[in-house]
Amino acid sequence: MVGDRDDKTTAIQIRNLYKVFGEDPVNALEHVKQGVSKSDLLQHHGHVIGLNDINVNVKEGDITVMMGLSGSGKSTLIRHLNRLIDPTAGEILVNGEDILAYNENALRRLRRHRMSMVFQNFALLPHRTVRQNVALALVVRGEPRSEYEDQAEYWLDRVGLKGNGHQYPNELSGGMQQRVGLARALASNAPIMLMDEAFSALDPLIRTDMQDLLLELQAELSKTVVFISHDLDEALRLADHLVILKDGYVVQQGEPQTILMDPQDDYIVDFVSDINRARVLRVRSVMRRTNEPQPDDMPEIGPEDNLEHVIAVSHGDLGQTFVVRDQGRQIGVLDMQDLMRALVPTSASEGGMRHRASA
């Protein structure tokens, strides 16, 4: 799922973004820039830091997951991307255009044609049928009924709801309603899809099904997805690029495997401490890269195999070594000893951002 991000076009640039809530956010921002903590700003100045100097590049065709605990600023951040919230300071560029300079007409076009959104609480219109809910963006654009109904049926079929178009939202289960929400976002044909805690209200098994569906559709459609989550397992499963927030600032961001292997902050170490590393870590993150020829009888594994799979096929032989091949080409080797060392959680890197944890 993860390619070379440096070769990808940047769809959304977030630069030095701040959001301060209160009666005089501009003056309060000066205290923030001077290093006043979130708790001190509230206690002594009566303002709340929502976002603190956020800098993120969202690459075209990636799933960028922004995650953190309650109050971390993740939902505040995603609402800036379609300007449901305006920042106190900073820049947001979409395909190079400063959307903070948009007038009402330009902002309307952004929301209708370039961005769609999937909400946590489904946000379906109860008085409209499932088909009408899915077609909503197309109706607003003024497309003819024959076209928008065909599109609605197509996307209902793609999300596994063929034959449900005549029903009303209250006749569907929660998981089915969220599929309608996803179909509605896809029917708009917008290249950017914002998903705010889209699966968090669902039961665990249904949630996993929805994650599978998203990954399946993304493999085909290559949307630019910004996905908000508070669940690390979900984030690690979905993310091409992971942004971890705390108290309104970015603690660490990068490819999820890199964050697991090289946490830059004690907060991240604690955050990932309970993760099943064998299930999450991939061979490509642990292997030793080499194209030196290996014995013909050496067993083969793939770079995207997780370590749990490798342990199973090794049958517990700690002396085993595997050759790693990607589409038939050797790219490295993996020793079981290196695999076992990777299962031990690492400490925060010395060059990390521990000083931000006390901010």
Asked if residue 65 lies in contact with residue 243, where contact means CB atoms within 8 angstroms, the answer is: yes
| pLDDT score for 349 | 59
pLDDT at 358 exceeding the cut of 80: no
CATH level 2 (architecture), domain 61-83+103-271:
3-Layer(aba) Sandwich (3.40)
How much helix, strand and coil, in percent to the nearest 5, is found in the chain? 40, 25, 35
| pLDDT score for 46 | 95
pLDDT at 355 exceeding the cut of 80: no
| pLDDT score for 274 | 84
Domain ranges of the chain: 61-83+103-271, 282-342
* Residue type (1 letter), 331: I
Percent of the chain surpassing pLDDT 90:
75
Alpha helices in 188-231 (DSSP H): 204-221
What is d(CA 255, CA 263) in angstroms, rounded to the nearest whole number?
A: 11
What is d(CA 24, CA 47) in angstroms, rounded to the nearest whole number?
A: 8
| pLDDT score for 287 | 96
Confirm whether 61-83+103-271 and 282-342 share one CATH topology.
Answer: no
Asked if residue 272 lies in contact with residue 259, where contact means CB atoms within 8 angstroms, the answer is: yes
pLDDT at 2 exceeding the cut of 70: no
| pLDDT score for 4 | 57
| pLDDT score for 158 | 92
Half-sphere exposure of 349 (CA within 13 A, CB side): 12
| pLDDT score for 356 | 44
Indicate if the alpha-carbon torsion angle 221, 182, 276, 353 is positive or negative: positive
What phi-psi label fits residue 122: left (phi over 0), alpha (psi between -120 and 50 degrees) or beta? left
Alpha helices in 84-171 (DSSP H): 104-109, 130-134, 136-140, 145-158
pLDDT-derived band at 153 (thresholds 50, 70, 90) equals very high
Q: What is the pLDDT of residues 58-84, one digit of tens each?
A: 999 999 999 998 889 999 999 999 999
Q: State if pTM tops 0.75.
A: yes
For tokens 């909503």, the residue is 136
| pLDDT score for 5 | 64
CATH level 2 (architecture), domain 282-342:
Alpha-Beta Complex (3.90)
What is d(CA 269, CA 309) in angstroms, rounded to the nearest whole number?
A: 24
- Helix/strand/coil for 251: strand
Task: Report residue 311 as tokens.
Answer: 């342990």
* C-alpha torsion 212→218→219→221, nearest 10: 140
